[in-house]
A and B are shown apart, each in its own frame.
Chain A
Amino acid sequence: MDELRNINIKIDGIEISVPQGSTVLQACEAAGVEIPRFCYHEKLSVAGNCRMCLVEMERAPKPIASCAMPASEGMVIKTSSEMVDKARKGVMEFLLINHPLDCPICDQGGECDLQDQALYFGKGETRFENSKRAVSDKNMGPLIKTTMTRCIHCTRCVRFANEVAGVEDLGATGRGENVEISTYLEKAVTSELSGNLVDLCPVGALTSKPYQFVARPWELTKTESVDVMDAIGSNIRIDSRDGKVLRILPKNNESINEEWISDKSRYAIDGLSKQRLDTPFIKIKNKLQKVSWDEAFEVINSKISKISSENCVGVVGNQVENEAIFAFKELFKKLNLNKILPFQKKLIFSNENRSNYLFNSKIKGLDKCDYLLLIGANPRVDSAILNARIRKNYIHRDLKISSISSQHFDLKFNYDYLGSDVKILNLILEGKNKISNDFKKANFPMIIIGDEVLQNDCSLDVQKVSISILKKFGGFNKKWNGFNILHNYASTVGAIDILSEYSDYNHSALKNDINNNLIKFVYLLNADDFDFDISSCFVIYQGHHGDKGAQLADVILPGAAYTEKDGSYTNLEGRLQYAQRATFPPGDAKEDWTILRALSEKLGKKLDFDNLLQLREKMFNSKKMLKFDENIYSSEPKIITKSDFKSSKLNYENKNFFMTCPISRCSSTMAECSQVKD
């Protein structure tokens, strides 16, 4: 944007200079003048159909729609003149002609743009004496409740669906008085981002179905936190009341999730109050019985003292915060145990260098990138927000995208499908494939490696060749690093950061040990998605839900879910973010690091921190985790492997976007969503 000239414009007597290409509305915003609007949204295209943003422009005969009018040199804008006031009152009166006066029973009440703006800019009365029109409600699936009579046809939802989400099912049918917003043939909206339609709707036409008639906004306690449903680390706001999480909304963060969050992040919260572990259990005669914390610790103590270190393994789950992983590691260290598995699935990458396992281009880099190669990645399922970001570049800058994956996935943008054989990478490297030219032309080429590769034996080979390709075509320099690993789980990067120096235990080693009957004692830290058989072992499960791990457990230690504890998470870029506690864990459940701390004391190996601050101080000793700067691109990753491509075909794994963790599996909303998909 540097090369663009600035233009000078005068708003309400304030001289201001704005970049060329700004609209009058943006200039007003820059001058600190608030312009009421309904249809304008800075992340969507300009529609200009609500007319609420009318302002007076000198030498113009009538008010202009500031959202659609480009600012030009020397313009003089008035936003509080009589003309503007009259225009706003008039528009408001028109908008309210067909809008029902049902605010008392409307879920949007209290946070409704129309309500607020009617109060500040409206007339306060109407001259319209005829009947209001009524519009039948539409079915938009299990997440969105519609009351279409309230719709003011701003078309924000239509534009969001078409531009951001990439589902072209939403539209405005009919004309004039008969316009209705509807999905095509009233099918449910099949997008992972559909919940954002609710946020976008400036009135109560689209409201959240799971949240209907639950609470008023002024009753809620708002906690800003971080989402753990994927590795993106979307910023969220948790709204709670009386110790219960009632809803989750996105929090704006341009570097990560912009203004959106996925439906899973938003709606899986009803799982937080189902199947919870609220008291310690021990298994007696194959039956789980409630016990006190002391009794549970006693059982562990008696068991662990008899076990030798090679028979014991710890498994870190997918949504564990860094603090608990660190405490877990410290406990194992004290007990002289060194088998800790940082993640449950088989994921092969080298952890020597931090840039080997991070999303080095950063999420923001997706806006800059000019050629993208996906290898074994299905970002739509793995991280819907990231997919929307790729689509944004695809829509606005015609980003060229190619993909090597097991299947030709529907990613909501067009791409060049290169088949499922990763050996093609060698051809690209040698310049024998047409893709090589795309790489050559690109200034900011990007490769994203997804878990179809990471789970495959060829993982390191693919990574090595990818690095060579990027190196050859200028993918690494001071201003760019095009090598990206797409992680799926919130705790993966944190776990590697913390555990890589301590233990290099991995999935295949564990499988080997299990086959050799070496494993007798398993400590699952919130781990429910493992694919190995530990039914014959003594299992401790520490976590918050009665899911797969708890079923196998001999001792259950009830922990806290992500909304119930302070903790930090490292997202796939390596960015450390702090989540805040919104509610308290149920019953006797405790925050995870405190459980580990208490257990250590019981085992006679007291961990040397007494509060979260001390723990964090110790954890950040290595400094590695704090090292993150959005504008600094790390040096190129280095991978040592023979690269003989023993296997080269990527395999498809059927994933259900809506059910990937204990919380979302317990959520009935998510269950409904996955049924709609089918």
Chain B
Amino acid sequence: MSRNAKINTLLLLAVAALAVLPLALGLGDHKKEPFTGSDAQAENAVTELDPEYEPWFSPLYEPPSGEVESALFALQAAVGAGVLAYYFGLRRGRRQGEERAAARATARGEARAEAHDAQGGSGRSEAEES
């Protein structure tokens, strides 16, 4: 593995560790419902601070179940990941194409230069190249 790939892998491992450690260390065990969303906790805090507060608007569309909701979240992540992958794939392909074209051009140039030497250096091929 190249040094670059190693660093990238380490970065990913660090992110994974940060996500898994709270679970592995049982940091949610002191709670009645461990690892709920912070937005739901904020809703509870609002009701504690102002017991009379009633949300005055409800979502136009609400996913009918936790499964549907997680499917939609997965869809969001998949769309994003797809676009990112398309971008990097396209870039990589273009770069490789350019490199190949450049290699071919230099190979052709060398071949032409050899032919040029063989001809004993007439001005014609030089004009062609420019």
Do chains A and B stick together as partners?
A: no
Chain A contact residues, CB within 8 Å of chain B: none
Residues of B at under 8 Å CB distance from A? none
